[in-house]
Structure 1
Amino acid sequence: MRCTLPSVLVAAALSLTALSPSARAATPSPVEQTYNAVRADPVRLGLFLRAFPKGADLHIHLSGAIYAENMLDWAAKDGLCVSLKTLDILDHACPHGKGDEMPASALVGNEKATNQMIDAMSMRDFVPAASDRSGHDHFFTSFRHFDAIEKDHQGDMLAEAMDRAAADHITYIEPMVSPALGSMIGVGFHHPLKDEDFAAAHQVLKAEIPALVAQARRETDAMEHKAQAILQCGTAKAHPGCGVSVHYLFQTLRILPPQAVYAQLDAGYAVVKADPRFVGVNIVAPEDDTVAMRDYSLHMRMFQFLSQVYPSVNLSLHAGELTGKLVPPEGLKHHIREAIEIAGAKRIGHGVDIASEDDVAGLLAEMAKKHVMVEINLTSNDEILNVKGAEHPLPLYRRAGVPVALSTDDEGVSRGDLTQEYLRAAQTYNLSYADLKQMSRTGLEYAFIPGESLWDAHQVSKPVAACQTISSAQPESGPCADLLKASEKARLQWQLETRFAAFENSAPHESLYQ
């Protein structure tokens, strides 16, 4: 959605100080009136929010972002087989099929088998059964069904994620990826961790880290080159996805023995330090897993140590993706706090169990003061944890002044997108247009994009002194021009504001919303 408007029009649309908050509330702008007019109509509200500019999707697992249909198409093109018994894509061919196996290409025309595969690989039409008893178990098991296809299709997956983001009017995505992870885990198993002597472990791994980093960079190069070729970026036939900006979080696994977790983290930090495409580290896998629960505090201390070795590496950590149905009460009391106070996380993914943490009020106040943002995943939290509506802590975070932004988590597995998250938030929590716009801006504000922000002290309605007037045309000289030239983050924020101006000018005149 690229558009150039007269500077005076954009300046008027983006005037952030012309009206006081009370005046704005008393006199809704045309776009606010349009939003209010369609709020009771889910179909038109969905259309409105589809076109609504979205700053960032910051909590997105690349493997989980892909729809099952894409995976099955790739399996067919690769000549792979599927198992009708386990409903897995297999890592070998079976030209004629045997027993419960059949070529993935034979799924075309076999509606029953295709639907069984898609249902197993996603949350579509999930209904608990004796052998598949919960959304939590079905969700995490779904990844096993397409595990064999992932490694050879990272570039296809990235291209698909970028094109979907463009269709959803998202400016920036920050996918979690794990290049060279198997090698890192293998190195960890060769170097046992002695108690918590992280310094010794770091020294032992030093000789092997450069090769691991080089492998991760090669795999990332290959992924990006494939994605760029698929999207035809730089050509007259470039896909819309080429216009989506991307950085990566290095994703590590928390359900392995300590030495394997530590090796992943040490190498992951080194990748972020060496490669500007990577802007942070995360740790994933079910937080309620017995190993993840047992070693949670140990993992936080690993982060604490490595953040001293690599002080510029950002952390966004999965924490608080738990309920009392999954773990005993003591397991709900400290994960978010330790992720912030021990590991030093700048963002929290999920944070669903915040109300069960010790000293909830104090922790919320600390998060607000430190500007620790929470990545809110409404659909995922409903499907995996059965937490939704009034039981979800989104309103609690907002009342406490903790910054929040909506994200998808695993939109392919969940069968959704970021528009679905905005629609769900708007309908469930009675959010105003201004609320949604603030969350859109907050996503970019707390993204780990290099450079200074366009906003003053995280106030996403107050530009910095250098850029008091935001217009469609970027300044060619002066302090604001210098900021935009030096800061990738500020440039993307400026781009988002331009998109908001265009949207807010056109939406009130769209016949579908009348």
Structure 2
Amino acid sequence: MMRCSGDRAGSLVVSVLLAMMACTATAAIPPDEAWFESFRENASDHELYRFLYAMPKGGDLHNHMSGNAFPSWWYELALDQKDNGYRYYTKVRINNCGDYGRDEFGRTPYKMYFRNVTEATYQSMSECRQSEYRRLEDLTQQQKEGWLDSIRLDKSHEGRDEFFQRHWQRLGALTANPYLMAEVLYRNMKAFSEEGLIYLESMMGSAGYRTPGGDLIPRDEVADIYRKRLAETDALDTGVTVRLQESILRFAPNAEQQLIDDYAFVSDNRDLYVGVNMVGREDNDKGYPMRFRETLRYLRREHSDVNLSIHAGELDEPNSHIRNTLMLGADRIGHGLQLINDQPLLRELRHGPYLIEINLISNLLLEYVDDFAQHPFPEYLRLGIPVALSTDDRGMWDSNLTDEFFVAVREFDLSWHEIRKLSLNSLRHGFVEESVRDRLVKRYKDEIAAFESRFRESGMTAFEDVEPTYNGFICRYYDLCGAGH
């Protein structure tokens, strides 16, 4: 580590500048943050994780609800849907039947295990195809373990294609049941609450849901199912405020019509829905941002105050997607990895008003960075570009929001001021109505002040009763589930 004196910087100017920056940073630590600096430098990984798990947090602004459920949740909740008339079958063998059809965007992979269908779909299959499927509740233990593993990205040979081209296709009919998805939402509220979150803004659409028999459920009925679930006592008891976004698949042939329909729906359901998002692989050129310029110009004439967040910069190579996304009217950018390679825009975005939704674990597992050290997050944060940590598809990563904070603190030496700023950013840039936003900001400030006071008075003994949830990612990557857990 470079010291402030006594080191020979050599003749390289960059070394001198780095030394000056290191000295300045050390000298600039505010006295009231010295406690955290000392704790961070001396804490074990287990102590740091427990501290961050117990720590109050703001919001999660970038998450896909259908990717937020852990595999065990999917299995339990799917079996609980019999009372609503839903029963599921999953593919457990391949008999080379050959009579498979097409889905909306191309051919569904035939040689793919654990694709889930409803009983109605199963009954419509040929005898050969039926022989490939088994009721979900009748799986052997080995088959169940395979089913759970099939929607979890946890192997070194898995990556982007496994996630984008298989995980969602396997979930299949499970994501078309609004009652099941409402329970997934509640499970997330409960789990997020346990790690200190107070605001959840999730991509959870209202279109495409079906009855057990396969008929489409009107969007307004789906929204009412969500409202009813959110009003139940156990959901209210979590203390988590929830708002939802509609999302369009940017490269779909009918994406423009999806956008028009979603804007109208959000405009008519402002108590629950606060914005529209564009999702999907950016390396599919059919979803390029400027494709939607004329549609959005039309929509801004038709609707007021519909917020827009767009995935942009989640790519391997530089392009103009982030710049074009801002031109479309987005107030938040999902991922934003390639902003680092647009230096003029990087300078323009310092100090806002646009927020970058940072997903550290997602970007690593989908191989947009090979190592956390490559991630531009600390550059954005310390240049003054508003950023907030989020989980993206935490059920598929087998992770949580505490994991994101742990990665950020451990890999980038976050200060206490920066940790608080991340949560405040996640609240101040939420699309929730202003009065609710102000209340959430005040609540967070009160809770984080009480947390800090408690720790400074009692240290880690203040959190002896806190039992963190250690998920698969943090166990694998940092070995936090070994001795001392």
TM-score under structure 2 normalisation? 0.76
Which of 142, 156, 178 is equivalent to 2:167? 142
Measured in 1, the distance between the counterparts of 2:57 and 2:397 equals 19
Pair 106,501 (structure 1): closer, same or farther in 2 beyond 3 Å: same
- C-alpha displacement of 1:313: 1.4
Measured in 1, the distance between the counterparts of 2:426 and 2:307 equals 15
- Give the aligned length: 398
Secondary structure, aligned partner of 2:399: coil
| 2:299 is the counterpart of 1:306 | yes
| 2:63 is the counterpart of 1:60 | yes
- C-alpha displacement of 1:505: 1.7
Q: Assess if the C-alpha contact under 8 Å between 1:398 and 1:404 holds in 2.
A: yes
- C-alpha displacement of 1:437: 1.0
Which of 217, 220, 228 is equivalent to 1:225? 228
Match of 1:496 in 2: 444
Match of 1:207 in 2: none
- C-alpha displacement of 1:381: 0.5
- C-alpha displacement of 1:355: 3.0
Secondary structure, aligned partner of 1:123: coil
Query: CA offsets, 1:413-463, max 9 Å, x none?
Result: 111010000001111111112211111111101111211xxxxxxxxxxxx
Q: Assess if the C-alpha contact under 8 Å between 1:373 and 1:405 holds in 2.
A: yes
Aligned partner letter, 1:162: M
Pair 111,444 (structure 1): closer, same or farther in 2 beyond 3 Å: same
- C-alpha displacement of 1:215: 3.6
| Aligned pairs for 1:330-479 within 5 A | 332-340=318-326, 342-356=327-341, 360-368=342-350, 370-387=352-369, 388-451=371-434
Q: Matched residues, percent identical? A: 28
- C-alpha displacement of 1:98: 6.4
Aligned partner letter, 2:307: N
- C-alpha displacement of 1:119: 1.8
Match of 2:135 in 1: 103
Q: Assess if the C-alpha contact under 8 Å between 2:315 and 2:368 holds in 1.
A: no
- C-alpha displacement of 1:26: 4.8
Match of 1:36 in 2: 40
Aligned partner letter, 1:244: V
Match of 2:279 in 1: 284
Pair 249,233 (structure 1): closer, same or farther in 2 beyond 3 Å: closer
Match of 2:264 in 1: 270
Measured in 2, the distance between the counterparts of 1:382 and 1:23 equals 33
Measured in 2, the distance between the counterparts of 1:246 and 1:219 equals 16
Q: Assess if the C-alpha contact under 8 Å between 1:87 and 1:120 holds in 2.
A: yes
| 2:77 is the counterpart of 1:74 | yes
Match of 1:511 in 2: 461
Which range is displaced more, 427-436 or 166-175? 427-436
Pair 38,118 (structure 1): closer, same or farther in 2 beyond 3 Å: farther
- C-alpha displacement of 1:504: 0.9
Aligned partner letter, 2:313: G
Measured in 2, the distance between the counterparts of 1:494 and 1:368 equals 25
| 2:166 is the counterpart of 1:177 | no
Match of 1:456 in 2: none
Query: CA offsets, 1:173-225, max 9 Å, x none?
Result: 10111112579xxxxxxxxxxxxxxxxxxxxxxxxxxxx9x943321111231
- C-alpha displacement of 1:305: 3.5
| 2:199 is the counterpart of 1:160 | no
Which of 310, 321, 327 is equivalent to 1:317? 310
| Aligned pairs for 1:203-222 within 5 A | 215-222=218-225
Measured in 2, the distance between the counterparts of 1:264 and 1:365 equals 34
Query: CA offsets, 1:57-114, max 9 Å, x none?
Result: 000111111011111123333442221232122222889x96442221123xx33222
Measured in 2, the distance between the counterparts of 1:35 and 1:369 equals 29
Measured in 2, the distance between the counterparts of 1:227 and 1:151 equals 19
Which of 12, 15, 31 is equivalent to 1:27? 31
Q: Say what the alpha-carbon RMSD is for the aligned residues.
A: 2.7
Measured in 1, the distance between the counterparts of 2:283 and 2:36 equals 42
Measured in 1, the distance between the counterparts of 2:300 and 2:207 equals 21
Q: Assess if the C-alpha contact under 8 Å between 1:61 and 1:176 holds in 2.
A: yes
Aligned partner letter, 2:136: A
Measured in 1, the distance between the counterparts of 2:203 and 2:392 equals 10
Q: Assess if the C-alpha contact under 8 Å between 2:176 and 2:208 holds in 1.
A: no
Which range is displaced more, 167-176 or 273-282? 273-282
Measured in 2, the distance between the counterparts of 1:54 and 1:350 equals 20
Secondary structure, aligned partner of 1:60: coil
- C-alpha displacement of 1:34: 6.2
Match of 2:13 in 1: none
Secondary structure, aligned partner of 1:255: coil
Match of 1:91 in 2: 118
- C-alpha displacement of 1:268: 1.2
Aligned partner letter, 2:325: A
- C-alpha displacement of 1:22: 9.5
Measured in 1, the distance between the counterparts of 2:30 and 2:222 equals 54
Aligned partner letter, 2:159: G
Which range is displaced more, 279-288 or 393-402? 393-402
Match of 2:7 in 1: none
Which of 109, 115, 135 is equivalent to 2:145? 115
Match of 1:198 in 2: none
Q: Assess if the C-alpha contact under 8 Å between 2:316 and 2:368 holds in 1.
A: no
Measured in 1, the distance between the counterparts of 2:285 and 2:244 equals 28
Query: CA offsets, 1:141-192, max 9 Å, x none?
Result: 2111112112221211111111111012101010111112579xxxxxxxxx
Secondary structure, aligned partner of 1:90: strand
Measured in 1, the distance between the counterparts of 2:265 and 2:403 equals 33
- C-alpha displacement of 1:27: 2.0
Match of 2:104 in 1: none
Secondary structure, aligned partner of 1:354: helix
